[in-house]
Amino acid sequence: MRIHAVVAAASLVGLLALSACASGPGAAPPTSGSTSEPALATAVPAPPAGEVRGTGTVMDVAGTVELCLGAVAESYPPQCSGAPIVGWSWDGVHGSESSGDVRWGAYAVTGTYDGRTFTMTQPPLLLALYDPIASDDPVGGEPGAIPESELIAIQDGLPTVLGDDGSQYLGSFPENGRLWVDVVWDDGTLQSAAAEDYGADVVVFRSALHEISG
């Protein structure tokens, strides 16, 4: 009987150890020293097939034009980084400001996106005059259950995984038990990878560019 008790106790300890090592909702992804790489580190969304629309700041520095979909530094002139724009022209475009060789303005833009470069297909619309269609709530208003400390730990690693040069990762914030992450474009690839790394609906990706249906 004592032998059986010892074996049972040892088995229980082993099960508890395995449970502690298993990933669950809110678990951090494998570290750089781990044998497995985070799914997000290799996830690359396919470029949209058709036209997309986005809203942001168009920044023209001495003829080099970029579409900044994320944060803009509150300097004068402002500073930001984003996707290079092909086919941009200021002819007939109102609402811009300029300082030295820098010209900028906030617009809704329509075009194609190949994963790095945005190509204009329609004239821009001054953002102040643009009436966007409200996006669907991907979680249906349901709160999450992950402590904010765990979400912040995940958030701290995202710039390393996704890159913080403005080409994809735009920003993130914890709210209602989930980490909300804004990126330039996602077709669902990043969302699926995040579910694999952290658990379902722990990290929610939002795409700044939206496909235009029809």
pLDDT digits (tens, 9 = 90+) for 115-171: 999 999 999 999 999 988 777 788 888 889 999 999 999 999 998 888 877 789 999
Could you give the CA distance from residue 76 to residue 98 in angstroms, rounded to a whole number? 10
Interstrand relation of 178-183 and 169-175 (parallel, antiparallel or unpaired): antiparallel
Could you give the CA distance from residue 17 to residue 6 in angstroms, rounded to a whole number? 17
Could you give the CA distance from residue 83 to residue 117 in angstroms, rounded to a whole number? 5
Unique residue bearing structure tokens 């400001």: 97
Residue 72 tokens read as 């803009």
pTM above 0.85, yes or no: no
CB atoms near residue 185 (< 10 Å): 24
Residue 2 tokens read as 């004592």
User: For 37, phi and psi rounded to 5 degrees?
Assistant: -95, 145
User: Per-residue pLDDT for 105 more than 80?
Assistant: yes
